[in-house]
Amino acid sequence: MNPKHFSTINNRRYVHLKVTDLTRSMDFYVGLLGFKVSLAYEEGTAAYLSAGSHHYLLGLATWFAQHLPQFESQGTDIFHSLIQYPTRKTLAQTYHNMVKAAYPISQAIDLGVSENIYLKDPDNHSIELCWDRPKEDWPKKPNGAPDMSTKPLNLTSLLAALAP
């Protein structure tokens, strides 16, 4: 991903990712992570995905991978893309999908203010899946500031959020 392909629309960020196999990427982003197809064109070449009612938040395109050389030394110029889920249950459902598909994660961290799962997509883009706790549930320091920690995320507890 190139930073110039990272923009803001109506205070929402969107990103375009270079992918090598659109079907494989759609299986990942739609099937596992829960995005919806909002616009697809040039079959097998590009798709635009949304979450909720927004026009689109994620563009996937193969033409860059097909027509431009890959220079590994250039990198992506970003650390990772963040996908923020609206509720703990929606993050839990995504994690459940990943467990069922035996999709590997890199790390799962509880920051006190949020729960975060890190992984790589099929094209090796770094992805962070996150749910922010309500501010009233954030742990606080004696001075009232958020007390962020770095603890392993209890994935069993996360999956329990799916229970009725």
Convert the pLDDT of each residue in 13-49 to its tens digit. 677 788 888 889 999 999 999 888 877 666 678 888 8
Q: What sections of 9-164 are H helices per DSSP?
A: 22-26, 63-67, 88-100, 155-160
pLDDT in tens, 83-141: 888 899 999 999 999 999 999 999 999 999 999 999 999 988 899 999 999 999 999 99
**pTM of the shown model:** 0.79
Cα separation, 59 vs 82, in Å, equals 14
Structural domain ending residue among the three candidates 70, 104, 123: 70
Tokens at 148, concatenated = 């962020």
Write out the residue range of the structural domain in which residue 64 sits: 1-70
Q: Do 62 and 111 belong together in one domain?
A: no
Of 70, 95, 113, the domain-final residue: 70
- Asked whether residue 62 falls in the same domain as residue 96, the answer is no
Give the model's pLDDT for residue 62: 82
* Pair 58, 92 in one domain: no
- Token reading at 42: 């040039």
Q: Are residues 65 and 127 in the same domain?
A: no
Over residues 153-163, the pLDDT tens digits come to 999 999 999 99
What pLDDT is recorded for position 156? 97
- List the CATH number of the domain containing 4: 3.10.180.10
Instruction: Choose among 26, 28, 20: nearest CA to 39.
Output: 26
